[in-house]
């Protein structure tokens, strides 16, 4: 029996994560572990799909972008109202979202 290469294992893992398809022993073991976590009420609370993780990372990146934008506009002597208008017009936020983004950014400025 020949050992499986690291590249083959990586490909098997990616296939499993992208499609949920079990293609070998490694992904079968991974599938069992994922099912165990999902089926355990306590562990299941902490389970996160890759899509959920990516969405959280994307949301975090957008929040960081907002904060850096606000800080930059403050350095350019924009008023709070001008900053909120900028966020609404350029970052596709509504008025409430833009107002809510302002205070936390200012707290870390």
What are the pLDDT digits (tens) for 18-75? 788 999 998 898 888 888 877 877 666 666 666 677 778 888 888 888 899 999 999 9
> CA dihedral defined by 36, 39, 43, 44, rounded to 10 degrees?
130
Contact 27, 21 (CB under 8 A): yes
The pLDDT, as a whole number, for residue 91 is 84
User: What are the residue ranges of helices labelled H in 40-79?
Assistant: 41-44, 50-75
Calpha distance 21→31 (Å, rounded): 9
Give the three-state DSSP class for 22. Answer: coil
Angle (deg, nearest 10), helices 80-90 and 50-75 = 140
Residue 78 scores a pLDDT above 90: yes
């Amino acid at each position: 029996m020949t050992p499986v290469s690291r590249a083959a294992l990586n490909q098997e893992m990616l296939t499993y994560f992208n499609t949920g398809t079990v293609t070998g022993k490694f992904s079968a073991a991974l599938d069992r572990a994922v099912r165990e976590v999902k089926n355990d009420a306590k562990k299941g609370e902490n389970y996160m799909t890759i899509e959920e993780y990516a969405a959280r990372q994307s949301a975090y990146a957008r929040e960081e972008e907002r904060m850096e934008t606000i800080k930059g506009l403050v350095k350019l002597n924009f008023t709070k109202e001008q900053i909120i208008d900028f966020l609404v017009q350029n970052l596709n936020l509504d008025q409430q979202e833009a107002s809510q983004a302002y205070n936390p950014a200012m707290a870390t400025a």
